[in-house]
């Protein structure tokens, strides 16, 4: 049984706005096993990126992580430690690759200097040794001519190269956990495949755990060992990728899987879509937050929020667990 490296319990991250309190993450539980990849999936607005930033404690005002939230990493609750203690973990034991490398990299510093800064912050090393390490890292992530590229500025590189630089920066101190937030956004399909394959190779080579945040279930099937499905600030289902893809226990997971275009589909075949939109984090609906979009919902779903409980494929928060036929029959019987 693989040990847990990171365990998140009852994570709640709220933002105070002029329109009210935005409950972006509202009671999330996650578990990341050592050396394994956890995929976090869901539509835009489900709270995936805020969850990642919360784990890194990068939430600033008007955002706040509420008391009672726990982020256990290597046995230490990061939600309770001081900023000084956190600095020894962030960028060192836990690193993050952000969505947009052009906005994450400093345009007035060379990529080499940006990698060197992280190395010297956490390691006792000379400037020369740090530069040599930066070149090694650029070579590790597949950047050609690393001795020359180390002195390049971000704007002198392609999008795929900049993403590789971000990965090199994240790996500078050999972290135990890498958080990759939509690492292939805005890249063409070929480069996406290269970046994902690079992440897989580095995970296996360095024996690190990965949290991969994405909206692409195909990427999850290809890359991940476990998956957490988020909707409206909550985890509605989690478990192993094989079990959940074979037998989804939440209607939202089922709907996401049905919406994947199939190879060989003709232009005349309609795509399956999930009706409606994710509700506003300012006013989460009562009961199950997916009920208004769910074809299996009955009256109780709109009144009482379901708890995340054990199922045959992991954990799910649904009043009607089981296969689609059972849900359909029970939902129809209840409504009748």
Tokens representing residue 232 in the block: 């409206």
Query: Which pLDDT tens digit goes with each residue over 126-164?
Result: 999 999 999 999 999 989 999 999 999 999 998 889 989
User: Mean per-residue pLDDT for 320-335?
Assistant: 48
Rounded to the nearest integer, the mean pLDDT of the chain is 89
Pairwise CA distance, residues 105 & 165, whole Å: 9
Quickly state the pLDDT bin for 326 (edges 50, 70, 90). Answer: very low
The confidence band for 99, taking pLDDT boundaries of 50, 70 and 90, is: confident
Give me the pLDDT at residue 334, please: 44
Mean pLDDT for the stretch of residues 217-237? 94
Q: Cis omega before residue 62 (within 30°)?
A: yes
Q: Each residue of 26-41: pLDDT tens digit?
A: 999 999 999 999 999 9
The reported pLDDT for the residue numbered 280 is 94
At residue 188's C-alpha, the angle toward residues 175 and 181, to 5°, is 30
**What does the domain layout of the chain look like in residue ranges?**
1-93+175-262, 105-171
Q: Which CATH number fits domain 1-93+175-262: 3.40.50.300, 3.40.50.10680, 3.10.50.40, 3.40.50.10490?
A: 3.40.50.300
* Kind plus residue range of the DSSP H or E element containing 232: none
Q: Which two tokens stand for residue 19?
A: 């329109």
DSSP state of 76: E
Residue 205 burial class via C-beta count within 10 angstroms: exposed 0-12, middle 13-18, buried 19 and up: exposed
When mean pLDDT is compared over 67-81, 177-191, 261-275, 310-324, the highest value belongs to 67-81
* Residue 153 CB-density burial (10 A; 0-12 exposed, 13-18 middle, 19+ buried): middle
pLDDT at position 1 is 54
């Amino acid at each position: 049984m693989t040990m847990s490296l990171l365990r998140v319990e009852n994570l709640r991250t709220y933002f105070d706005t002029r329109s009210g309190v935005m409950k972006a993450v509202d009671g999330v539980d996650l578990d990341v096993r050592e050396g394994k990849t956890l995929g976090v999936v869901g539509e835009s607005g489900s709270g995936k990126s805020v969850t990642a930033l919360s784990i890194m404690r990068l939430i600033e005002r008007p955002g706040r992580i509420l008391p009672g939230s726990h982020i256990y990493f290597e046995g230490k609750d990061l939600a309770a430690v001081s900023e000084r203690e956190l600095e020894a973990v962030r960028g060192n034991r836990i690193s993050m690759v952000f969505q947009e490398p052009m906005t994450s990299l400093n345009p007035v510093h060379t990529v080499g200097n940006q990698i060197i800064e992280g190395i010297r912050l956490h390691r006792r090393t000379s400037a020369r040794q740090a530069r040599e390490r930066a070149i090694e890292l650029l070579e590790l992530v597949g950047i050609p001519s690393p001795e020359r590229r180390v002195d390049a500025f971000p704007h002198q590189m392609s999008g795929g190269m900049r993403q590789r630089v971000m990965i090199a920066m994240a790996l500078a101190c050999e972290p135990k956990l890498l958080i990759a937030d939509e690492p292939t956004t805005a890249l063409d399909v070929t480069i996406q495949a290269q970046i994902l394959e690079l992440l897989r190779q580095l995970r296996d080579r360095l024996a690190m755990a990965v949290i991969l945040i994405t909206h692409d279930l195909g990427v999850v099937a290809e890359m991940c060992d476990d998956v957490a499905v988020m909707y409206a600030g909550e985890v509605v289902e989690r478990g192993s990728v094989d079990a959940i893809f074979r037998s989804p226990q939440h209607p939202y997971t089922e709907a996401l899987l049905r919406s994947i275009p199939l190879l060989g589909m003709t232009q005349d075949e309609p795509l399956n879509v999930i009706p409606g939109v994710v509700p506003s984090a300012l006013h989460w609906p009562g009961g199950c937050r997916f009920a208004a979009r769910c074809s299996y919902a009955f009256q109780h779903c709109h009144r009482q929020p379901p708890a995340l409980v054990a199922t045959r494929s992991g954990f799910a928060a649904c009043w009607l667990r089981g296969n689609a036929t059972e849900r359909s029959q029970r939902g129809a019987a209840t409504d009748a």
